[in-house]
């Protein structure tokens, strides 16, 4: 079987990759395990030097990496350059902070000495998606290697070129051979890999369905997993919100990465008293987004990553309209080559519609009206997901209280769109998964948190 990388802009095959055999997969796993036996004994200083060099390699290759991303999944120019820069940032962040995060923590007990130590656990399997083909990997790779673990990457098949590029950069930075390797495999071969006794844990970013399947297999063999899954992030716009600020943030969030982000704003819950002004400004800014060739620096909306994903999105839009939603912008597949879908706005969105209940993974905004603040928060929490959320209001204290105490999600932002940051933990609740990436909490996920007690 071959894994195909297809340009979503023109539908042409970029390259086909031969899938690894079971024998080759097991060899790669064994190689990475053997590399870990030596790697775990290295100092934080040694690891940090290499991680900072990896950041430099990323920056030196950012134009080539950016082009590769665009070819394989359609990311527009500005987004792809910033993604590479963010990968370099996370490398530097953990290079500078991992030692402090993982230093022994003394706890006073009746022992002569008692403390908590943090130790690497071994080879971690990462199952990563296509939408942020470098960032998703590096937010696992940087803390993982700095903690003394080794990594194996099973990337989405359509970004196999990006997957191999990451492995080459790790080698170019001077990391020991086999510390990090890519596995060119389809999803059908994932379960045996998770079951291999040399794999100690697994992390996945992907759909809720994929996360459930991975968690089921990991649970059957008692292996730790972190699941960063889908989301239908609610953005609550209160009556006193600064509409310019709110709309700018809402549109930027909904359109980032061609609308293909788990933490993109998807449900916009607006107080009825400001609905006309909000919708007018929102429509103006959404319709101004330039759709076209993602290689063109002026393009703000490129194609969806695959034709089948675009078609699935369109079905969700059509089904929502059949159930009573009103389309006031977009909503039709353009008559051109490529997996394009236009900036789309649905109003009169109600419970029971895909636009209300499901994750719409593309540039489609669902506007839901609420009578008041109480109802708006209730609607925001009326979801099986729980990844990100945001609240817009001029009353900062009230906004902070709502964000902290009332919005049910892994992240809650006030007057800003949700974004990941190496310094802050990232993850969700409910059907959006469990566990955390990034920050101190992210590096703790895949270490043995060991109690040491000395009488």
Distance between CA atoms of residues 400 and 92, nearest Å: 30
Distances (CA, A) of 398 to 130, 393, 412, 422: 37, 8, 13, 27
359 - beta bridge partners? none
| Known catalytic membership, residue 19 | no
Burial of 345 (C-beta count, 10 Å sphere; 0-12/13-18/19+): buried
Contact predicate 268/235, CB 8 Å = yes
* Cα–Cα distance measured from residue 201 to residue 203, given in angstroms and rounded to the nearest whole number: 7
d(CA 431, CA 384): 6
Catalytic residue among 72, 228, 359, 373: 228
Burial class (CB in 10 A: 0-12, 13-18, 19+), 377: buried
Distance CA 403, CA 446 (A): 29
Q: Return d(Cα 428, Cα 409) in angstroms, integer.
A: 6
Terminal-residue alpha carbon distance, the chain: 59
Place of tokens 């998770």: 194
Distance CA 302, CA 283 (A): 19
Asked if residues 347 and 275 have their Cβ atoms less than 8 Å apart, the reply is: no
**Please, which residues have CB within 8 angstroms of residue 284's CB and are 6 or more apart in sequence?**
none
CA distance 205 to 340: 24
CA dihedral (168, 173, 174, 178) positive or negative: negative
Active-site residue flag, 150: no
Contact between residue 183 and residue 25 where contact means Cβ atoms under 8 Å apart: yes
Q: Catalytic pick from 91, 225, 250, 262? A: 262
360 close to 354: Cβ distance less than 8 angstroms: yes
Contacts with 63 (C-beta within 8 Å, 6 or more apart), sequence order: 81
Contact 299, 290 (CB under 8 A): yes
Phi, psi of 202, rounded to the nearest 5 degrees: -145, 140
How far is the C-alpha of 312 from the C-alpha of 307, rounded, in Å? 9
Q: Is the dihedral of CA 409, 433, 124, 71 positive or negative?
A: negative
- Catalytic residue IDs: 228, 262
């Amino acid at each position: 079987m071959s894994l195909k990388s297809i340009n979503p802009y023109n539908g042409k095959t970029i390259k086909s990759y031969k899938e690894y055999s079971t024998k080759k997969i097991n060899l790669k796993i064994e190689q990475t395990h053997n590399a870990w036996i030596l790697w775990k004994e290295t100092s934080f200083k040694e690891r940090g030097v290499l991680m900072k060099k990896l950041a430099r390699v990323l920056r030196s290759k950012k134009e080539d990496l950016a082009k590769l991303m665009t070819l394989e999944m359609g990311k527009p120019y500005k987004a792809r350059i910033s993604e590479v820069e963010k990968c370099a940032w996370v490398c530097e962040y953990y290079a500078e902070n991992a030692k402090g995060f993982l230093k022994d923590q003394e706890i006073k007990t009746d022992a002569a000495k008692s403390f908590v130590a943090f130790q690497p656990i071994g080879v971690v399997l990462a199952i990563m998606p296509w939408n942020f083909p470098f960032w998703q990997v590096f937010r696992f790779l940087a803390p993982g290697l700095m903690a003394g673990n080794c990594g194996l990457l099973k990337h989405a098949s359509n970004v196999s070129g990006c997957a191999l590029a990451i492995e080459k950069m790790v080698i170019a930075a001077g990391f020991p051979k086999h510390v990090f390797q890519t596995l060119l495999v389809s999803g059908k071969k994932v379960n045996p890999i998770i079951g291999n006794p040399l794999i100690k844990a697994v992390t996945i970013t992907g759909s809720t369905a994929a996360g459930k399947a991975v968690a089921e297999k990991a649970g059957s063999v008692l292996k730790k997993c972190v699941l960063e899954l889908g989301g239908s992030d609610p953005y609550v716009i209160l009556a006193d919100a600064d509409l310019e600020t709110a709309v700018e943030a809402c549109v930027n969030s909904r359109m980032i990465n061609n609308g293909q982000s788990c933490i993109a704003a998807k449900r916009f819950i607006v107080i009825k008293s400001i609905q006309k002004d909000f919708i007018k400004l929102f429509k103006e800014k959404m319709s101004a987004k330039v759709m076209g060739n993602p290689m063109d620096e002026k393009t703000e909306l490129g194609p969806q990553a695959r034709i089948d994903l675009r078609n699935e999105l369109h079905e969700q839009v059509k089904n929502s309209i059949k159930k009573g939603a009103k389309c006031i912008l977009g909503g039709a597949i353009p008559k051109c080559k490529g997996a394009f879908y236009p900036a789309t706005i649905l109003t009169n969105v109600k419970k029971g519609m895909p636009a209300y209940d499901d994750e719409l993974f593309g540039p489609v905004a669902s506007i839901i009206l609420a009578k008041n603040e109480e109802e708006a928060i209730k609607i925001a929490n009326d979801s099986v997901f729980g990844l990100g959320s945001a609240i817009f209001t001029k009353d900062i204290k009230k906004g902070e209280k709502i964000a902290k105490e009332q919005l049910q999600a892994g992240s809650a932002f006030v007057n800003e769109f949700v974004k990941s940051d190496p310094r802050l933990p990232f993850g969700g609740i409910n059907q959006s998964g469990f566990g955390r990436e990034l920050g101190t909490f992210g590096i703790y996920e895949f270490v043995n948190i060991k109690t040491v007690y000395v009488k």
